[in-house]
Amino acid sequence: MNTIAEHIADFLKKYPPFDNLSFQELSEIATSIRVINLEKHKLLFHINDILHDSFYVVASGVINLTVIADAEETLINKCVEGDVFGLRPFFAKNNYMMTAKAREESIIYAIPIATFRTFVTHNSNVLEYLLESFASNSSNPNEIENLHGKLVSDNIYYSDQKSEMQYFQSLSYNTTPLKITTSSIVQEVAQLMTNTITNSAIVCQNDLPIGIVTHTDMSTKIATGRYSISTTIDKIMTSPVVTIMENVSLAEAQLLMLKYNVTHLCVTNDGTDKSTVKGIISEHDLIVAQASNPGVLIKEIKRSKSAEDLKSIRKRLTELIQKSLHKNIPLSHINNIASEINLAIIKRSVELAILDLGSPPVRFVWLSIGSQGRKEQLLSTDQDSILIFEDVTPDKYRDVKDYFIKLAKRTTVSLENVGYELCPNGHIASNMLWCKSLTDWTKQYSNWINTPGENSNEISSIFFDLEIAFGEHKLEEAIQNVIFNNVKNNVLFFDFLGNDALRKNSPLTFFKNFNVEELGVNKDKFDIKTRALMPLIDAARLFSLSYSVKGVNNTYLRFKQLSIVDPRNSEIYLNCAEAFLTLSKFRTLEGLKNDSSGQFINLHELSKADKEHLKNAFAPMRELEELIKTKFKLTQFS
């Protein structure tokens, strides 16, 4: 046997399942192994790639395994020396369900399945080990006692198909949609739709989607005689079309259809209408795939008549979150579903208040701020909100404001009855300070940004995390413009916000122990919100405002976006994104266990491996702190 094969056999012998094989068997396997050198960020296989004829072992370096969630790449696992992955070809015929990418320069051993299969069939220990791994949902590298040589499942969505978790799996859709142009004639399109037995056609310009025509358009606009059959399609199309990235789950697709009140979603290359069309998802696709899923909750919310109805739905959402976590569904994915349901509950509460009070005198917008504004509210934490109404003449101002204060009070009381506690700092729309006209809000934001700390000891940073729950989008856009126009090159503002971000206490003491509470009811517990999550939340907001990252409020997604806009520091941002998910999961599990906000972690209840896992999540914070100091030229606390 040659020395390279001998070296490989020696290496494999140290790790399961190879430690169940004799050295002679390993030597035979080693002679057929292919050694792959992967450069940093190089792909080994991609989601939906055709299966390879080998599975893989990490000889050195780190391989990241990711899935698509929230139309984002989400890290599921890190494979280090001795870890086995890419087993799908052993047990399944369909394509890869994950992407494997080198996090750093790595050496991988590719073991041909044809060669290895013989040893599997003759060794029950090896077979059981592989089967157990493939069928497991383990996406936490620390769950297997944090040992090297773990076998990583690439079957993250494996399930018995009985629970609603199947609705987090990718949805099948029509990959050959009917494409037409704006100048197409209605009669010809109707004929094409009949011939191809389809109920929709995507209107494209340079292969980019600009609109959609459905069977409903034909029956309501053509069959009724409103338009002639000889008219061009641009007269009856719906524009813009709602676009989405592929690998969307049934749950997400249904939520989007309900949110935008559409029956079709256009699948594009990057999920926007600025890239080529890949397919179409219809309501029929959902009906075929559907049984019971989070979309049902949205429908029930829309039909709710009282806070009591909404409360029972919120309780079911908590159960859904708990099941999702136990199934190891990616946290970013759970967040997306939960936030849509939370926003729907807020929206319905506003609607019920309007039904009680009568129509509003002018247009307005209800904005969630804080954790709801960042779409990070998995647990029933407190409610934070502001209300902006259109400008009115001075003589009408008082009456208009009175109406909206009444509306806000009814809504916040209703939400309190649902289970969202009132903000202890009074950051709610029913507070006179946080319910006012667009002009007043413009002045408020301008003052906060241009004279930070002058009228108060702090800027309430949560006011910069906004998510529309109900009302006029243009009012929300106007406030976003005020924010981004004022923060541009504003040294004083970033100095204030930067120092505020740095002022948070460290999660660990000088001796690397947890910085726990010293007094009160939470004595000896770890405040994961203040000491670990808030520094990441504050930093993500700070950098996003600095780089004018618009339309992204979620901390995890902010870090992902920052890794693109500031590629030199992408590694730091991506590590922070990963750390944020880890810490959020710890907090959520604590909250679900104790029916609390999960802010204070009882360290005595954590295993040694969990404590290490928690400490490891603090690692990127030091680099992030240095990045803040460098970027904003901060040398000391102000």
Q: Is the pLDDT of residue 159 over 80?
A: no
User: What whole-number distance in Å separates Cα of residue 66 and Cα of residue 335?
Assistant: 17
Of the three residues 224, 257, 292, the one that is the final residue of a domain is 292
Q: Is the pLDDT of residue 116 over 50?
A: yes
pLDDT for the residue numbered 128? 63
- For the segment 331-385, what is each residue's pLDDT rounded down to a tens digit? 877 888 888 889 999 999 999 999 999 999 999 999 999 888 898 888 777 889 9
Would you place residue 455 in the very low, low, confident or very high pLDDT band (cuts 50, 70, 90)? low
* Averaged pLDDT of the chain: 83
Residues 408 and 281 in one domain: no
Q: Is the pLDDT of residue 637 over 80?
A: no
pLDDT for the residue numbered 458? 54
Would you place residue 161 in the very low, low, confident or very high pLDDT band (cuts 50, 70, 90)? very low
Residues 507 and 477 in one domain: no
Q: Is residue 402 part of a domain?
A: yes
Residues 245 and 220 in one domain: yes
Residues 129 and 203 in one domain: no
Q: Which residue has the higher pLDDT, 585 or 138?
A: 585
User: What whole-number distance in Å separates Cα of residue 509 and Cα of residue 297?
Assistant: 44
Rounded mean pLDDT of 102-106? 91
Q: Is the pLDDT of residue 139 over 50?
A: no
| Cβ atoms of residues 598 and 525 within 8 Å | no
Would you place residue 165 in the very low, low, confident or very high pLDDT band (cuts 50, 70, 90)? very low
Q: Which residue has the higher pLDDT, 283 or 21?
A: 21
Q: Which residue has the higher pLDDT, 168 or 223?
A: 223
Domain region containing 397: 309-441+462-481
pTM of the model: 0.57
pLDDT for the residue numbered 6? 87
pLDDT for the residue numbered 170? 54
Residues 355 and 434 in one domain: yes
Asked if omega into 141 is within 30° of 0 (cis), the reply is: no
pLDDT for the residue numbered 327? 64
- For the segment 462-514, what is each residue's pLDDT rounded down to a tens digit? 899 999 999 998 999 999 999 999 999 888 899 888 888 887 767 777 667 78
Would you place residue 323 in the very low, low, confident or very high pLDDT band (cuts 50, 70, 90)? confident
User: What whole-number distance in Å separates Cα of residue 279 and Cα of residue 247?
Assistant: 11
Q: Is residue 534 part of a domain?
A: yes
| Cβ atoms of residues 379 and 589 within 8 Å | no
Of the three residues 102, 126, 158, the one that is the final residue of a domain is 158
pLDDT-wise least confident of 60-64, 80-84, 130-134, 319-323: 130-134
| Cβ atoms of residues 333 and 321 within 8 Å | no
Q: Is the pLDDT of residue 231 over 60?
A: yes
pLDDT-wise least confident of 383-392, 510-519, 523-532, 569-578: 510-519
Q: Is residue 304 part of a domain?
A: no
pLDDT for the residue numbered 481? 93
Q: Is the pLDDT of residue 146 over 50?
A: no
Q: Is the pLDDT of residue 194 over 90?
A: no
Q: Is residue 134 part of a domain?
A: yes
pLDDT for the residue numbered 273? 86
Q: Is residue 272 part of a domain?
A: yes
Rg (CA), the chain: 27
Residues 523 and 590 in one domain: yes
pLDDT for the residue numbered 385? 94
Q: Is residue 330 part of a domain?
A: yes
pLDDT for the residue numbered 148? 40
pLDDT-wise least confident of 8-22, 236-250, 265-279, 381-395: 236-250
User: What whole-number distance in Å separates Cα of residue 123 and Cα of residue 136?
Assistant: 20
- For the segment 241-255, what is each residue's pLDDT rounded down to a tens digit? 999 887 777 767 776
Residues 332 and 244 in one domain: no
CATH of the domain at 366: 3.30.460.10
CATH of the domain at 600: 1.20.120
Q: How many CA atoms lie within 13 A of 478 on its CB side?
A: 17
Nearest Cα neighbor of 166 from 333, 67, 66, 292 is: 292
User: What whole-number distance in Å separates Cα of residue 53 and Cα of residue 412?
Assistant: 58
Residues 152 and 226 in one domain: no
How many percent of the chain have pLDDT more than 90? 37
Q: Is residue 170 part of a domain?
A: no
pLDDT for the residue numbered 134? 52
pLDDT for the residue numbered 2? 67
pLDDT for the residue numbered 577? 93
Q: Where is mean pLDDT largest: 293-307, 312-326, 519-533?
A: 519-533
CATH of the domain at 17: 2.60.120.10
pLDDT for the residue numbered 215? 85
Residues 361 and 435 in one domain: yes
Residues 622 and 501 in one domain: yes
Q: Is residue 174 part of a domain?
A: no
pLDDT for the residue numbered 559? 93
- What is the tally of structural domains in the chain? 4
244-261: b (≥16 Cβ within 10 Å) or e:
bbbbbbbbbbbbbbbeee
Phi, psi of 520 (to 5 degrees): 80, -170
Residues 115 and 249 in one domain: no
pLDDT for the residue numbered 593? 86
- For the segment 381-402, what is each residue's pLDDT rounded down to a tens digit? 788 999 999 999 999 999 999 9
CATH of the domain at 277: 3.10.580.10
Residues 9 and 147 in one domain: yes
Q: Is the pLDDT of residue 437 over 90?
A: yes
Of the three residues 263, 292, 321, the one that is the final residue of a domain is 292
Would you place residue 524 in the very low, low, confident or very high pLDDT band (cuts 50, 70, 90)? confident
